[in-house]
Amino acid sequence: MSRLVVVGNGMAGVACVEQILKHAPKFAITVFGDETHVNYNRILLSSVLAGEKSADDIVLNSLEWYEQNSIQLRLGVRITSVDPARKTVTGDDGSATSFDKLLLATGSNPLIPPIEGINKNGVFVFRNLDDTRALLSRAARGAKAVVIGGGLLGLEAARGLQVQGCEVTVVHLMDTLMERQLDPTGGSYLKSKMECLGVRVLLNRATTAILGNGKVEGVAFKDGTAIEADIVVIAAGIRPNVDLARHARLQVNRGIVVNDFMETSHPDIFAVGECVEHNGTCYGLVAPLLEQGKILAATITGNKGPRYEGTVTAAKLKIMGVDVFSAGDFSEKSPGTDVVRYEDAALGIYKKLALRDGKLTGAILVGDTSDSHRYMDWLRTQEDLTPHRRQLLFPGPSEDAGSDIAEMPDTKVVCGCVGVTKGAIIEAIHTKGVNTLAQLKESTRASTGCGSCTEHCQQLLKAVVPEFQEESLRVLCKCLPYGEEKLRDTVRGQRIFSVQEVLDIYGNGLGCEICKPALSYMMDVVWCGDHDEDRSARFINDRVHANIQKDGTFSVVPRMRGGVTSAKELRRIADVAEKYNVPMVKVTGSQRIDLLGVKKSDLPGIWAELGMPSGQAYTKGVRMVKTCVGTDFCRFGVQDSTKAGIELERRLEHLFTPAKVKMGAVGCPRNCAEATVKDIGLIGQEGAWQVVVGGAAGKKVRKADLLITVESTEEALQAATLFFQYYRENANFLERTYDFIERVGIEKVRRETVYAPLAVQQGLRERLRRSKRLARDAWLEGDEPRHPTQFVQIQPIEKVCQ
């Protein structure tokens, strides 16, 4: 068998090997990689830096894959020389390996600009997993990080470091960020997006020196200014790694020169990826290297024929909330170029298309890249756009996302990075039993590159696979194009503390009556109450802590834990009702008393005179624990449900929840307080408690599911609170426990609460404890309003006579 040696265990080399394996496998393959990791998706390193993904998440080929395909993998070995005459490669471990065919996939190295003091401790490059780990170990909260280079990689590194808590400044030599991909206007939109995220951007700055005594302390610029720095990241570009090829006397310009068949100047040596130069062009993106790999695989396996004709490249910035797409040639200078533009400064949207002879030559999208697919396609097909001329920047009226994918021809490329067509995806679904996104990735490799086609892949799966489960695609509202789970992760990962910030960065900046209260809750639960509270984003009930009625008055329900009250309390309630002329006093269905028809301006006075805490009857929060008489008086009671209920209410009161939480505790299976139809119920039995969850007796009627049976009251309370916090963290806003449980399944809820590993349980308890520590009786704002006119009717300074 002939021996194939691959130098480089990166995306290009391994993708090419994958293609070679698709042809008849007639090689004994050895792959050398100077990193100690299996092949991973280098494009996603910025996601690892930002903490969105772990190192394991970005692995493309596992060790088993190498084994299954009988590939000898030599990790941590750097090839130091190639002898084309003897056909051997020598490693830095002294080993010599013979080859019949050699594939160079050596990638590129970071370009290090001539800066004084660049070897100081604290200067990093950002190229591989080890660099990422080194950066992560230094990226402490509050550290000052300076990223030199405002290109794709530099900006992604900057955002990652900022998410890690660093104060980040991006220093760019040119006057436009990503100037190779954007025009000055696009660059300025991008700049303001980055600044909106809290990343400082300095343009037109040439870095001359890294300051500090051994360790980085600052960065100095040509104009004489300097800034402080604890970490410096060099992201000034890449240079093809051609040393091996040059020493082997292959033809090398900027990159290793290859022809259309990916052959170098030596008949048995081939090259692929960022290290090559084809037709005068070196590529630094993923789509070309995968395309080259296919051609090379054909050539090297004796199926020479397909030619590489260059790639229309597209760049996409992978920073959540900063959508940037750029492809082709968008310069306006060449004669005969028509430019079509759209701008909305308030929304931060900028789109520009360049056309020549009715065909698209380039596109820039900032702030909204949802149409990038269409433009990429037009660039590839060079379709005559004359008939679409009036709708170039807007989809036609009937073209929504769903029909878009249905109307797509089978030959159309869905995944531009790997080059997977719609037809190939449908075939995989039908013939290989693919029905999840993960299986689709595994089987076709679609959506494993930049990931921008994920949505299209999901739409296809949804259309073709009947049982396809949408992966939480439910969008909150039209203001924010994300589902709540995704938003929770984002808020947590990107450390966003206010509703308006989420809307400004990820939404339309406006918000509405649907997303604002939902995001308000999200802030509260994600940060355990330690967020920037914005009352303007709350429903009126949560601004004045009372329930608005049809005539604009409010209702007041004081907390009466477990439904137990006293003569004194009742007397105060009666006095208040009389003094404030409360039109209706009513016993609610939740064992407490409602004062209806109260004016907003009377609320603080009433609360003060009641001297009872808020019953949260107006909010998505902890309502009450309904109890039966228990053991103190009842002749049947076997558990002290009254005491247990009061204690449960005390532990959870003043907390907010996705939807209202009504609880119950009963002392025997007669269930007088109806605990089996409550969100959380405690059912006393001889020597035990059943803890039940997800019951309903409202619009929907549902018997609660058993969570667990325990012996002591304390264990019952612990189980109930575990579930309570789990529901708080995982349910969607307005989703009652009974809908949540039906969506998630009680088995999973048990597994992740009462049967979860101790550390998980402790995490839930700790976050509940933190929330509880900051939770306070909302009615205390009667004495200390958050705003002077929170409850007060505004009196005009000047009167107007009628």
Partner 1 sequence: MTSSNPQEKNWVRITRAENIPLREGRSVEIAGHDIAIFNLGDRFLAVENKCPHRGGPLADGIVSGRTVVCPLHAWKIDLESGQVTNRPEENPCVKTFTTTVYEGVVMLEVSVPEGQIALEPSCMARTTPRLPAMSAGD
Any contact of residue 789 with partner 1 (CB under 8 A)? yes
Smallest gap from Cβ 592 to partner 1, in A, equals 7
Smallest gap from Cβ 591 to partner 1, in A, equals 10
In this structure, which long-range contacts are made by residues 17-24, counting pairs with CB atoms below 8 Å and at least 24 apart in sequence?
A: 17/69, 17/71, 18/61, 18/293, 18/445, 19/293, 19/294, 19/296, 19/297, 19/298, 20/297, 20/300, 20/301, 21/69, 22/297, 23/297, 23/298, 23/301, 23/303, 24/301
Smallest gap from Cβ 498 to partner 1, in A, equals 12
Among 202, 512, 746, 760, binds partner 1 (CB under 8 A): 512
Residues numbered 516 to 575 that lie near partner 1 (CB under 8 A) are 516-517, 535-541, 543, 547-548, 550-552, 557
Smallest gap from Cβ 788 to partner 1, in A, equals 7
**In whole angstroms, what is the distance from residue 292 CA to residue 295 CA?**
5
Smallest gap from Cβ 181 to partner 1, in A, equals 32
CB of 595 or CB of 717, closer to partner 1: 595
Instruction: Using alpha carbons, list the distances in angstroms from residue 209 to 115, 212, 230, 235, 685.
Output: 5, 10, 14, 15, 75
CB of 91 or CB of 664, closer to partner 1: 664
Site residue total, partner 1 (CB under 8 A): 44
Instruction: Using alpha carbons, list the distances in angstroms from residue 247 to 83, 96, 244, 258.
Output: 9, 16, 5, 16
Spatial contact of 645 and 663, defined as CB atoms under 8 Å apart:
yes
CB of 96 or CB of 792, closer to partner 1: 792
Smallest gap from Cβ 786 to partner 1, in A, equals 9
Q: Which span sits near partner 1 by CB under 8 A: 85-93, 299-307, 512-520, 755-763?
A: 512-520
Any contact of residue 784 with partner 1 (CB under 8 A)? no
Smallest gap from Cβ 554 to partner 1, in A, equals 10
Name the packing angle between helices 758-774 and 713-730 (round to 10°): 80
The tokens describing 331, both together, are 């310069």
Other CB atoms within a 10 A radius of the CB of residue 330 amount to 20
Any contact of residue 795 with partner 1 (CB under 8 A)? yes
Q: Which span sits near partner 1 by CB under 8 A: 29-37, 82-90, 719-727, 787-795?
A: 787-795
In sequence order, what E strands does 439-598 have?
475-477, 480-483, 547-548, 554-556, 584-587, 593-598
- The phi and psi torsions of 144 (rounded to 5 degrees) equal -95, 120
Smallest gap from Cβ 801 to partner 1, in A, equals 5
- The phi and psi torsions of 771 (rounded to 5 degrees) equal -60, -45
Residues numbered 384 to 403 that lie near partner 1 (CB under 8 A) are none
Residues numbered 629 to 668 that lie near partner 1 (CB under 8 A) are 660
Do strands 314-319 and 322-328 pair parallel, antiparallel, or not at all (unpaired)?
A: antiparallel
Do strands 167-171 and 200-202 pair parallel, antiparallel, or not at all (unpaired)?
A: parallel
CB of 397 or CB of 796, closer to partner 1: 796
Strand order in the sheet with 72-75: 72-75, 27-33, 2-7, 101-104, 269-271
Q: What x-and-dash track marks residues 465-504 binding partner 1 by CB under 8 A?
A: --------------x-------------------------
CB of 482 or CB of 618, closer to partner 1: 618
Question: Scanning the structure block, which residue is given the tokens 């409202």?
Answer: 698
**In whole angstroms, what is the distance from residue 230 CA to residue 225 CA?**
17
Cβ within 8 Å of residue 489, ≥6 positions away: 52
Backbone conformation region of residue 229, classed left if phi is above 0, alpha if psi is from -120 to 50, else beta:
beta
In this structure, which long-range contacts are made by residues 570-574, counting pairs with CB atoms below 8 Å and at least 24 apart in sequence?
A: 572/609, 572/610, 572/611, 572/612, 573/610
H helix runs in 631-757, sequence order: 641-652, 713-730, 737-744, 746-752
Q: Which span sits near partner 1 by CB under 8 A: 300-308, 370-378, 506-514, 744-752?
A: 506-514
CB of 121 or CB of 802, closer to partner 1: 802
Smallest gap from Cβ 729 to partner 1, in A, equals 22
Smallest gap from Cβ 579 to partner 1, in A, equals 23
Smallest gap from Cβ 622 to partner 1, in A, equals 12
The tokens describing 515, both together, are 């997303």
Spatial contact of 726 and 764, defined as CB atoms under 8 Å apart:
yes
Among 193, 266, 456, 623, binds partner 1 (CB under 8 A): 623
CB of 537 or CB of 672, closer to partner 1: 537
The tokens describing 714, both together, are 């304390």
Smallest gap from Cβ 190 to partner 1, in A, equals 24
Q: Which span sits near partner 1 by CB under 8 A: 151-159, 241-249, 587-595, 762-770?
A: 587-595
Among 230, 594, 679, 739, binds partner 1 (CB under 8 A): 594
CB of 521 or CB of 689, closer to partner 1: 521
Among 76, 214, 433, 589, binds partner 1 (CB under 8 A): 589
H helix runs in 333-448, sequence order: 372-381, 401-407, 422-431, 437-444
Among 474, 751, 773, 787, binds partner 1 (CB under 8 A): 787
CB of 267 or CB of 397, closer to partner 1: 397
Smallest gap from Cβ 341 to partner 1, in A, equals 24
Smallest gap from Cβ 584 to partner 1, in A, equals 12
Which DSSP symbol is given to 704? P
CB of 55 or CB of 510, closer to partner 1: 510
- Burial label for 592, CB within 10 Å (0-12, 13-18, 19+), is buried
Strand partners, 201: 170
Residues numbered 220 to 249 that lie near partner 1 (CB under 8 A) are none
Q: Which residues bind partner 1 (CB under 8 A)?
A: 479, 510-513, 516-517, 535-541, 543, 547-548, 550-552, 557, 588-590, 592, 594, 615, 617-618, 620, 623, 660, 787-789, 793-798, 800-802
